[in-house]
Amino acid sequence: MTAEEYDNFPQEIKNIVNSYDDNESLYKECARIKLELESIGWTCDYDLSGEVYDVKPESYTTCDRCSYDIKDEDGDILEHYCIDDELYIPNQINK
Ligand SMILES: [Zn+2]
């Protein structure tokens, strides 16, 4: 990630990213950081060299009302008949 990206993170994200421990298995550390990010609604990617990148808020993939799986294979939001039988298109946050 770039320093600029980092600067824009909320403090709790910085704290998690900063907790990266070079003395541990790099790959394990990446997996741990991803888990911690996901526990607060963020996510990241990492590669085999232990580089964490693409740290960003996790866009949700299910309807916020009925938990319907709203994303197709291309990641597009699908409209669907929701709990009240109304055709409902969830807003995509974090676009
Ligand atoms: Zn729904």
- 77 C-alpha to center of ligand 1: Å? 11
Q: pLDDT digit string (tens) for 7-36?
A: 999 999 999 999 999 898 998 999 999 999
- Asked if the model's pLDDT at residue 50 lies above 60, the reply is yes
Question: CA angle, 28 as apex, 22 and 29 as ends, to 5°?
Answer: 45
Name the DSSP class of 72: -
- 93 C-alpha to center of ligand 1: Å? 15
Query: What percent of the chain clears pLDDT 70, i.e. is strictly above it?
Result: 95
- 22 C-alpha to center of ligand 1: Å? 43
Q: pLDDT digit string (tens) for 62-74?
A: 887 888 888 888 8
